[in-house]
């Protein structure tokens, strides 16, 4: 029996216009991406009640939606239907608790609301650790996971969940190309990307590859 697929979506940089992910950018410049250890516990988030904290919430609240992301969700659904695969859509975001209510409201007021059935919003301090932990739990519960992100560091950590299942293809990761994962930086850092992580030019490109992966039964 083919497993259900959960399509987890990062928000900032994927569905919302956002600044470049700085940790992977600086990590690749230094030649050291410095990934968190596997199984790192989720650390408690302490909200900032100062001006910086309020500005951060406001900044996230006014970020416009990215063009193409809604079409991408539709194309993923169509690919799953074409190959008779069960596909659930979920938000998997590093946005911390002080931004949760606003984030859910914005998504529910957009056409994306008809896709997302689960919201896995960061309950800890580290976005990368949160995403890897949630994907690990989803796979452990019996589902396959396909994830899309704009952060290479997070993408690599999510992709390595598949290492826990030798000989199986349980996790597939798409990372949107941007300056923080530019080919020049990748060559400079001599980083080797996991075989289940693919850099794509757009959400639509990810959907096309997903369709081909289903056709070839790679996930």
pLDDT tens-digit profile of 118-147? 999 999 989 999 999 999 999 999 999 999
CATH topology of domain 5-37+66-215: Rossmann fold (3.40.50)
Give pLDDT, residue 58.
Answer: 82
For the chain, which residues score pLDDT lower than 50? Answer: none
Q: Which residues of 154-175 are buried (b: 16+ CB within 10 A; e: fewer)?
A: bbbbbbbbbeeeeeeebbbbbb
* In the chain, where the domains are located: 5-37+66-215
Give pLDDT, residue 96.
Answer: 93
Give pLDDT, residue 165.
Answer: 97
Residues 144, 6: contact at Cβ < 8 Å?
yes
Give pLDDT, residue 190.
Answer: 92
């Amino acid at each position: 029996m083919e497993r259900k697929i959960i399509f987890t979506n990062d928000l900032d940089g994927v569905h919302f216009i956002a600044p470049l992910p700085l940790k992977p950018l600086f990590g690749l410049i230094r030649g050291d991406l410095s990934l968190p250890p596997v199984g790192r516990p989720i650390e408690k988030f302490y909200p900032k009640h100062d001006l910086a904290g309020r500005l951060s919430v406001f900044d996230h609240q006014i970020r416009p939606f990215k063009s193409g992301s809604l079409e991408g969700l539709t194309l993923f659904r169509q690919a799953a239907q074409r190959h008779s695969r069960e596909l659930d859509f979920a938000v998997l975001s590093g946005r911390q608790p002080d931004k949760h209510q606003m984030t859910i409201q914005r998504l529910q007021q957009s056409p994306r609301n008809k896709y997302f059935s689960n919201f896995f919003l960061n309950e800890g301090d580290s976005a990368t650790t949160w995403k890897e932990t949630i994907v690990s739990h989803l796979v452990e519960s019996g589902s396959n996971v396909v994830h899309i992100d704009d952060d290479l560091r997070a993408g690599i950590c999510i992709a390595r969940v598949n290492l826990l299942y030798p000989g199986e293809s349980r996790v597939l990761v798409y990372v949107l190309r941007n300056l923080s994962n530019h080919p020049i930086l990748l060559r400079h850092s001599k980083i080797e990307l996991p075989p289940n992580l693919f850099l794509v030019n757009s959400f639509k490109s990810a959907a096309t590859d997903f369709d081909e992966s289903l056709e070839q039964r790679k996930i």
